[in-house]
Structure 1
Amino acid sequence: MSSSECFENPPTLLSSTSSGVGTVQDVGGLKSYVTGSPHSNRAILFVSDVFGYEAPKLRKLADKLAVADQFLVVVPDFFYGDPLDLNNPDRDGWLKAHNMEKGHEDAKQVVAALKSKGLSAIGAAGFCWGGNVVVKLAGSTDIQAAVVLHPGHLTDEDINEVKVHIAILGAERDKIAPQEHIKHLGEILSAKSEFDSFVKIFPGVAHGWTVRYNDEDPFSVNSAEESHLDLTNWFTKYVK
């Protein structure tokens, strides 16, 4: 996870109250961006990349998913107000302080809080750092489905623990999660008959393309939107 690709194309972070149509609330002890119908019985948890829950394009995607299929979408601040600062030279130290094991424990708290509010069906989507957290979450039946977008390095062991319907969306030009490795993980998943899986490699894009795309580049925008549609379709099918 220490590859420089993790830290490229950072979003412009805005105030937690100035981006998106949702609101910031406490969910499971974490400050969270919440968007969508409060009357829905279906929720989607977003686990961000290292740039955190205030990233405008991440929130835009949350808003889009909430409207598309009437999900309640929750984007927690897994970094407790301390997203990665590119001016901080000690990035390995930051990753150690904000490790995926802690992210997984926090994610379980958020899922439990959503269930306590009557949300009976829950999915989870993770981006880069968050993708690895979501794979850990998918090792239980606490959620119904998972989508992993340009993950960090996932091992065979990580994937062998998966117990729920899962989609992995990878990039052709990704040094952190090379397409050959993503395809290998897909082969492991396809051998499992107890749940559905879907693996797709997007041509011509690099790590982070789904939420760090260039608005001025039509190809980048179209590739991101295609991934967003795949994400929406997966959750529509399996989070009921």
Structure 2
Amino acid sequence: MTGPYLAKPCGDCCLGGHLHEGEPRGSTEKIHDINTYVAKPSDEKSNGNIVLFFTDVYGIFHNNNLLIMDTFADAGYLCLALDFFQGDNLMNYRDENRKDLPGFDFKAWATKNMEWAMSATPKWIEAAKEKYGKEETKYACVGYCFGAPFVCQELAKDTVSAGAFAHPAFLTEKHFSDLKHPLLLSCAEDDWTFGDDQRHQAEAIMKKDKKRYMVQLFSGVKHGFALRCNLDDPYEKFVKEQSLSGMLQYFDFWLSGSADKFIKVN
């Protein structure tokens, strides 16, 4: 990907936040020879549809990501997420205080893994659809930070019916101009990677090209709010829950028969 970026590449703001407690309920398996987290809904709740989950820089082995994926499963979706980092996890380079170890170049690490992930993800998606999809299955995708460009990449195809991202990174103007399917943007008022001017520019592109989109904008929070907020702070917890609830409602609408009367954006 080349600039100009509307959502900047990952920076220090992508590393902060709080670890959330809870016991993940999914499992890990290989899809296209890539470690994949699989969160399955109960038979009673299953809606037959699939969410492709694209993680932030902490990846599929970070508890916060796992718990969010389990929540998508609780809402009836089979949720699948690939390991962008091939086991080269960010926490391997951080000490017990979550500070970078000496000599670690975070930006170089993120750029290297982005290049691999861009190449591997489309093949992983095809393998995941072949393994878990059925003729009637509908798909949505969600991405956080590092995972945002993969959402836009799939929304520019006919892979998914709708997508969403929160506090994005690595996005260019083309990601918005190429959209073919509805996008929810979940944004922080104070975000170094995707500030007001850049967000307004993205909105102008989507409005001009008559894309279908929805913007959530939360005051008083920063980049990472939807994944790594302080759950002891009632407002931060509320905002995180509103972001996730909005995504689920968005997917429920666009993947349901209720949306069939709407004409696809070309």
**TM-score, scaled relative to structure 2:** 0.80
Is the 1:48–1:129 contact (alpha carbons within 8 Å) kept by the matching residues of 2?
A: yes
Partner of 1:191: 208
Partner of 2:261: none
Partner of 2:51: 44
* 1:59 counterpart (62, 66, 70): 66
Question: Shift of the alpha carbon at 1:29?
Answer: 2.4
CA, structure 1 residues 97+11, in 2 after alignment: closer, same or farther (shift >3 Å)? farther
Partner amino acid for 1:220? E
Secondary structure in 2 aligned to 1:129?
Answer: helix
Q: Deviations over 1:147-195 (max 9, x none)?
A: 01100142222211111111111110101111331132122213334x5
Partner amino acid for 1:64? T
Partner amino acid for 2:201? H
Question: Shift of the alpha carbon at 1:72?
Answer: 0.2
* 2:198 counterpart (165, 168, 181): 181
CA distance in 1: counterparts of 2:55 and 2:204, whole angstroms: 26
CA distance in 2: counterparts of 1:145 and 1:28, whole angstroms: 24
Secondary structure in 2 aligned to 1:211?
Answer: helix
Partner of 1:212: 228
Question: Shift of the alpha carbon at 1:45?
Answer: 0.9
- Greater Cα offset, 88-97 or 35-44: 35-44
Question: Shift of the alpha carbon at 1:78?
Answer: 1.1
Is the 1:179–1:201 contact (alpha carbons within 8 Å) kept by the matching residues of 2?
A: no
Is the 1:19–1:54 contact (alpha carbons within 8 Å) kept by the matching residues of 2?
A: no
Aligned pair count reads 233
Q: Deviations over 1:2-39 (max 9, x none)?
A: 42112222647x9xxx9411111122322111112387
CA distance in 1: counterparts of 2:196 and 2:73, whole angstroms: 30
Partner of 1:75: 81
CA RMSD after TM alignment: 2.2
Question: Shift of the alpha carbon at 1:238?
Answer: 1.6
CA distance in 2: counterparts of 1:50 and 1:2, whole angstroms: 8
Report whether the alignment pairs 1:32 with 2:49: no
Partner of 1:221: 237
Report whether the alignment pairs 1:235 with 2:251: yes
CA, structure 1 residues 32+58, in 2 after alignment: closer, same or farther (shift >3 Å)? same
CA distance in 1: counterparts of 2:188 and 2:63, whole angstroms: 21
Partner of 2:144: 127
Question: Shift of the alpha carbon at 1:215?
Answer: 1.7
Secondary structure in 2 aligned to 1:141?
Answer: coil
CA distance in 2: counterparts of 1:30 and 1:19, whole angstroms: 23
Unaligned runs of 5+ in 2: 1-8, 94-99, 257-266
CA distance in 2: counterparts of 1:239 and 1:114, whole angstroms: 18
CA distance in 1: counterparts of 2:105 and 2:230, whole angstroms: 27
Partner of 2:169: 152
CA distance in 1: counterparts of 2:105 and 2:229, whole angstroms: 26
Q: Deviations over 1:47-84 (max 9, x none)?
A: 1111111221221111112112x110012211111122
Percent identical pairs in the alignment equals: 23
CA distance in 2: counterparts of 1:139 and 1:35, whole angstroms: 26
* Structure with higher RCO (Cα < 8 A, 6+ apart): 2
